Amino acid sequence: MTRTTPIIAVLGHRGWLGQRVVPALVQAGLTTKVIVRKGSEVGEVPHGVEVVILDWANTSAFTDALRDVDVVMYGPSRMVISSNG
């Protein structure tokens, strides 16, 4: 079956930006998944939001997590790639 709504992935959902963007995406009826680095707190996410926990440095896990995703929203103000963030 053809999908009619995009899937949005949010990185940094616990930040100032992510805490505003995720509920807004859900309210807009968009399929939303948050990607959380391994070892971090997931915290609360709105009902229906998929949570994917992965090792930031694991490229193939990252690729798999983004396979069905149409848009990535990257919230954190800096990007550090290492196995512990």
Give contact residues for ligand NAP (rule: CB under 6 A): 11-18, 37, 40-41, 56, 75-80, 85
Position of minimal CB gap to ligand NAP: 15
Q: Which is nearer to ligand NAP, 1 or 81 (CB)?
A: 81
Give the angle subtended at the CA of 44 by the CAs of 68 and 6, to the nearest 5°. Answer: 25
- The answer to whether residues 53 and 47 touch, using CB atoms and an 8 Å cutoff, is no
- Written as one letter, the residue type at 39 is G
Report, in Å, the least distance between residue 35 CB and ligand NAP: 9
Q: Which is nearer to ligand NAP, 3 or 78 (CB)?
A: 78
Q: Which is nearer to ligand NAP, 5 or 64 (CB)?
A: 64
CA distance linking residue 48 with residue 40, whole number of Å: 20
Report, in Å, the least distance between residue 30 CB and ligand NAP: 19
Report, in Å, the least distance between residue 68 CB and ligand NAP: 21
CA separation, residue 62 to residues 10, 26, 36, 58, 74 (Å): 13, 22, 11, 6, 14
